[in-house]
């Protein structure tokens, strides 16, 4: 926490539900203004005049930014900020911050757990025990898949992707990756195209951010390239996957299994994925521990406090790195 906390009479807008710890700190440091959702139609004349900051889980579009002429900063709760129009914010001279690093290890842990659960059918095996089938029917069936001998491709070798790769090394698995560009100094095999990566591996882990550049990047062609022994895991953003193509690939045997923590239209999960027996599905819990969410909340609020107290952001997103505080 920053030393200037408790001295800043600034109005901060908090749309919808927000982290309780973050709200407690905002209430101590600022004048919190609440609305039901980030909707320009809900912005009052007083908000237009007084609101200088937003603390939000996302969903701040250009219209919402334009509805608040005095807005200086959007503090996004989460490392992904694809639902914030950061390019428009930059044009308006509005800083956007996110919460990187503090959730990296937790999300990487979840990724490994989801991969193992998908390959070794842990959920189904536990259900077998809890339903009494071990007693009534005998041992659970042998899992069709294994981690042994697998080669893993990571789509998105950023902070989280690298943490996932380091964990996978301990399992003795070979690792390759695809990014927009090669990461200097990284020894893992680099593939210039996502299809090339999918063709080279049998396990594809998506840690890529959302946005237009990655929209439905995981499509029928990529899944076909992964092959019938292929396992797909998504811990990044649901928008990166063509979910209809994924469901079809799972049903036809074009790939063997999928583990998903994120979906295109959360919390709505396509029935075809829910019905698929070769899926492991989680309700977007990658960083969802008290420990990590508290750290994210602190960084989110610390960005606001630093911006209004010291006139600098702690973790600005690249699009707004050059935005300067207003006089």
Give the up-direction half-sphere exposure of residue 10: CA atoms within 13 A in the CB hemisphere.
Answer: 24
What's the CA gap between 98 and 141, in Å, rounded? 44
Local structure of residue 55 (DSSP, 8 states): E
In this structure, what token pair is assigned to residue 107?
A: 């999300």
Q: Please name which of 307, 306, 313, 311 lies closest in space to residue 3, comparing C-alpha atoms.
A: 306
Phi, psi of 240 (to 5 degrees): -75, -5
Catalytically annotated residue among 237, 243, 293, 319: 237
SS3 content of the chain, % helix, strand, coil (to 5): 40, 15, 45
In this structure, what token pair is assigned to residue 22?
A: 């973050």
Beta pairing partners, 268: 265
Catalytically annotated residue among 34, 266, 291, 310: 266
What's the CA gap between 63 and 288, in Å, rounded? 30
Peptide bond into 267 cis (omega under 30): yes
What's the CA gap between 132 and 198, in Å, rounded? 40
In this structure, what token pair is assigned to residue 194?
A: 């996502």
Catalytically annotated residue among 48, 92, 159, 284: 284
Chain-centroid distance of CA 19 in Å reads 16
Active site residue 191: no
Question: What's the chain's Rg over C-alpha atoms?
Answer: 22
Beta pairing partners, 190: 177
Active site residue 178: no
Q: Please name which of 79, 233, 105 lies closest in space to residue 166, comparing C-alpha atoms.
A: 105
Active site residue 266: yes
What's the CA gap between 275 and 24, in Å, rounded? 41
In this structure, what token pair is assigned to residue 88?
A: 């428009």
Please identify every residue annotated as catalytic: 237, 266, 284
């Amino acid at each position: 926490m920053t030393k200037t906390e408790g001295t800043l009479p600034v109005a901060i807008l908090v749309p919808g539900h927000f982290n309780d710890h973050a709200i407690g700190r905002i209430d101590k440091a600022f004048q919190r203004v609440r609305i039901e959702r980030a909707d320009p139609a809900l912005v009052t004349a007083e908000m237009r005049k007084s609101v200088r900051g937003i603390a939000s889980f996302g969903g701040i579009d250009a219209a919402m930014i334009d509805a608040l002429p005095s807005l200086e900063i959007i503090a996004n709760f989460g490392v992904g900020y694809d639902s914030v129009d950061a390019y428009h914010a930059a044009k308006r001279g509005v800083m956007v911050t996110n919460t990187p690093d503090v959730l990296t290890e937790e999300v990487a842990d979840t990724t490994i757990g989801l991969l193992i659960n998908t390959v070794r059918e842990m959920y189904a095996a536990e259900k077998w025990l809890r339903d009494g089938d071990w007693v009534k029917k005998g041992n659970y069936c042998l899992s069709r898949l294994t981690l042994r001998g697998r080669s893993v491709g990571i789509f998105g070798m950023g902070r989280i992707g690298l943490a996932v790769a380091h964990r996978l090394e301990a399992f003795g698995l070979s690792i390759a990756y695809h990014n927009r560009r090669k990461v200097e100094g990284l020894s893992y095999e680099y593939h210039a195209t996502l299809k090339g990566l999918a063709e080279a591996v049998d396990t594809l882990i998506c840690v890529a951010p959302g946005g237009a550049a990655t929209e439905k990047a995981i499509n029928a062609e990529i899944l076909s390239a992964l092959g019938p022994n292929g396992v797909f895991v998504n811990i990044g953003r649901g928008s990166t996957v063509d979910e209809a193509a994924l469901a079809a690939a799972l049903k036809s045997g074009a790939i063997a299994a999928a583990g998903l923590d994120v979906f295109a239209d959360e919390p709505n999960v396509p029935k075809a994925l829910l019905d698929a027996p070769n899926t492991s599905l989680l309700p977007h819990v990658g960083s969802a521990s008290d420990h990590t969410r508290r750290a994210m909340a602190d960084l989110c609020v610390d960005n606001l406090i630093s911006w209004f107290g010291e006139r600098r952001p702690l973790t600005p997103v690249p699009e707004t790195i050059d935005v300067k505080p207003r006089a």
